[in-house]
Chains A and B, each alone.
Chain A
């Protein structure tokens, strides 16, 4: 009996004889949407057979799928673009949203800080005695405006009465209250994003947020690139992510190795004495890596309290040393 093998190409299935010559073809319908969808499913699965490249354009003409090379390539171009678009749209990556959110949070912190500093300088001309910063100052200005609006029963009334600042007219007041209300809304957005991250982390990575805290957990996902990548990291890497500079200095020269990367922001490390920090960060990192794996690989993402308890016991025993 003749041996035949099938070669799946984008325009149909090629049947090959034992010399790898084209024998017969089962063509697909010549429709871009249909071809793209078939192709998309094929690219994601790993083919079992080992195929080597063929001269597909010639074979497509030979079997009558297209009439010319120009037609072949123009059709292939349309189909492949469509396929990639379908692939992109299908990628389900909820951790991508978390990464964007946590980065947005950091961006807001940075710019809100800068804007608040400017606000403090600006309002300082008018009312230098006030000792408020950040969102408190922005709130105060949005509420009261200039000094003379501060009521007699307000805590700042006496200070305002005897202030050495220069006076602001209505125009000055308008512009500075506008500016401060913008800062205030930035702080409000920040709180909303934080809440959003909290909710999303509870869905995507409940164990990771339970161990590391949701903000630190989100930051780790962000640095690793995705929850999958974090889950695949060894815990020794997790221990030092965010300490790149110190790590490479250690690898290149004789500097000591870093004890902790961004994991340092975890309260148990931050709050303990430096003698214990290395040991605690090691056990925390290993627990984080287990948590990330549970979150990524288990079929149901449910909170597992054992991990936290084990970690707590471990940290207690470290602190006794």
Chain B
């Protein structure tokens, strides 16, 4: 078995097949049925790129600027599949996890009770003022919301909470914006909305489709003007 770092806190374990893993900060517990892998006395959790867009982005050679002390605002946390891995990475930081739907929130809250660096927020991401009493300025905003107005939501949140020089990481799900239109056209108009907005200035770092892990998704990393 061989362990090689991919980015801070994320590794690739090679054992015949290669798998993306993060160091398990809650030893012995898995979150959503993922594999636990022992390596030199440490425990790692497998991070499946087919289940998580951020993992798929790492597989696609994206550089996601997550470090140990990062403060993260995660929009659309759902049941916490991806959030749990982010929480593994930012051991000294904090993940503000916004989710609007009560059903997945019930699962997320169980995760939060085990991991003290996740702050759950049952709130509407399209109304970012509603959680201003809790959320601080953050280094990175990760958005995983499949909504027609997802670009708008990302901008609203960046405007409020993203530090100058911070990063916005999101994936555009073409099929939730328009079921019929050609994905390329949708990507173009959404990119336009993001990069040429009046409220925030972003500089594109990298964009790429997430095939074969996710169909009709375009992942984007953008840097806010400092």
Task: Give the interface of A toward B (CB within 8 A).
Answer: 7-10, 39, 42-47, 49-57, 73-74, 76-77, 80-81, 83-85, 87-88, 91, 248, 251-252
Contacts and interface: CB of A to CB of B under 8 A. Distances in A.
A43 B130 contact: yes
Interface string B34-49: 0000000000000000
A81 B132 contact: no
Contacts of A84: 105, 109, 112, 120-122
A73 B117 contact: yes
Given A84-B121, A251-B179, A252-B180, A10 B133 contact: yes
B138 interface: yes
Given A43-B121, A54-B137, A55-B136, 18 more contacts: A7-B132, A9-B132, A39-B134, A44-B130, A47-B129, A47-B132, A51-B132, A52-B132, A53-B161, A73-B116, A73-B117, A77-B119, A80-B112, A80-B120, A81-B112, A81-B120, A84-B122, A88-B122
State the majority secondary structure of interface residues on B.
mixed
B102 interface: yes
A176 B194 CA distance: 66
A70 to B, nearest CB: 10
A7 B136 CA distance: 13
- Among A43, A46, A83, chain B packs the most CB atoms within 10 A around the CB of A43
State the majority secondary structure of interface residues on A.
helix
Interface string B101-131: 0100110010011001111111100010111
A80 B116 CA distance: 11
Interface of B: 94, 102, 105-106, 109, 112-113, 116-123, 127, 129-138, 159-161, 179-180
A64 B214 CA distance: 48
A87 B122 contact: yes
Contacts of B121: 43, 80, 84
A252 B180 CA distance: 6
A43 B122 contact: yes
Given A80-B119, A80-B120, A88 B102 contact: yes
A53 B116 contact: no
Contacts of A50: 129
B74 to A, nearest CB: 14
A43 B180 contact: no
A127 B142 CA distance: 65
Nearest to B108: A84
A51 B160 contact: yes
B137 A88 contact: no
- Among A47, A77, A85, A251, chain B packs the most CB atoms within 10 A around the CB of A77
A73 B130 CA distance: 19
A88 B106 contact: yes
A68 to B, nearest CB: 13
Nearest to B157: A53
A77 B112 CA distance: 8
A80 B102 contact: no
B131 A55 contact: no
A55 B135 CA distance: 9
Contacts of B120: 80-81, 84
